Amino acid sequence: MRIRQFSRADPYRHPGVASAPRPFHGPFEDGPPDRLRPPQNGGGTTPGSPGAEALSNNGSRERARKRMVAEGSTLARRALGRQLHALRKKAEVSQGQAARILGISPQTMGRIEDGLSARSANDLYMNTLCDHYGVSDENRRAILALAREVRATAKYGGGWWRAHLDRGPHDFDPRTMLENAAARLTVWEVVLLPSVVRTIDYRRAIAWTECPHLPTERIEARIEAEVRRQRRVDDPTFAVEIMVSEAAIREEWGGFAVMDEQRHHLVKIGQRSNVSIRVLPFNARSHIGSLVGSFSLLEFPMLSQTRMMEPPIVSIEEYTGELYLERAAEVEKYRAVLAELRRVALSESDSAALLLAISDEYRPR
């Protein structure tokens, strides 16, 4: 990607004054490429794609998807299903064999592993599978904790508040699970940079500010967990679109040296084929993003067993927990916010130039 030098006299400083035709400097100049663009049909697929074709050929799948959300929050079910699938594969047990162990049909076993069945998440089934898969005590506790989550969230109607204080030592991390399963991640951040693009020193500065009384080993354990999450971006098939406010890249977490490294890291990682990073400058026209606040949209590939599309999820992280939204009407509202943010954000090359200009501006003289 070729990066122009950014200057105050630059007529392309923000979209509101770009009257002349914009020169083309790279594949992302007019926004993310097609495979990074969000689907336009609101269902997690792109028109004409195999997923969209499959849904159009079978309307019952869409009705099943609606029932999937109507039965309650799907997050714990999805996590439980993926864990069971991974443990079955590791034990080299076929889906048919697993079904016979429980006395159910292979189709029902497939629905359990796809996170479509809440009624089968009972301790008897879970312990039976764990016995036959030969899982460790730690994995068994995690499976049983997930099963309890499934039963507890069955009463919720497609939204889930996950308080940090409610998490036990063997509970699953929903955010990590979602990012590992997603095909596309779109993030809007107002104050902090997204976790998937943070440098270690930037993470450390935030962690010490948030929890100054924690022992050093606890802080470093948190940082290591976030670093493991960031490895998901190394997968070229995982599309990541990030939009941040200028405030997020100007705030000096840890001092100039930390932020200088962080801003240069954003420029470097933004050159990857699967990553798009764009900045909304202070002088961009008014937009709803400042009112809505930070959030993430996660979209998923087709389920392997039932060939259904998993419903997308909006994640809103707060100081004391995280809110997950799954209802289609709620998700569409956030899609509309992202569409507006894309219209006022700088292009990728202008965003990279702004990042470098800010580092130069803050550099000690």
What pLDDT is attached to residue 304? 66
Q: Which CATH superfamily is domain 74-155 in?
A: lambda repressor-like DNA-binding domains (1.10.260.40)
Looking at residue 32, its pLDDT comes to 56
pLDDT value, residue 187: 97
**Dihedral of alpha carbons 78, 80, 83, 85, sign:** negative
pLDDT reported for residue 114: 86
User: Domain 27-57+171-362 class?
Assistant: alpha beta
Number of Cα atoms under 13 Å in the Cβ half of residue 307: 12
* Sequential pLDDT tens for the chain (365 residues): 444 444 434 433 433 333 333 333 333 444 555 546 544 444 444 444 444 444 444 454 455 455 444 445 577 788 888 889 989 999 999 999 999 999 999 988 988 888 887 777 889 999 999 999 999 998 898 889 888 878 877 666 556 676 666 665 555 677 787 888 899 999 999 999 999 999 999 999 999 998 899 999 999 988 998 888 889 999 999 999 999 999 999 999 999 999 999 999 999 999 999 999 999 999 998 889 989 999 999 999 887 666 677 889 999 988 778 888 888 899 999 999 999 999 999 999 999 999 999 999 989 88
Q: Tell me how far the alpha carbon of residue 293 is from its chain's centroid.
A: 16
pLDDT given for residue 243 in this prediction? 98
- According to the model, what pLDDT value does residue 162 have? 65
pLDDT value at residue 168: 57
pLDDT of residue 61: 47
Domain-by-domain residue ranges, the chain? 27-57+171-362, 74-155
Position of tokens 């039976």?
128
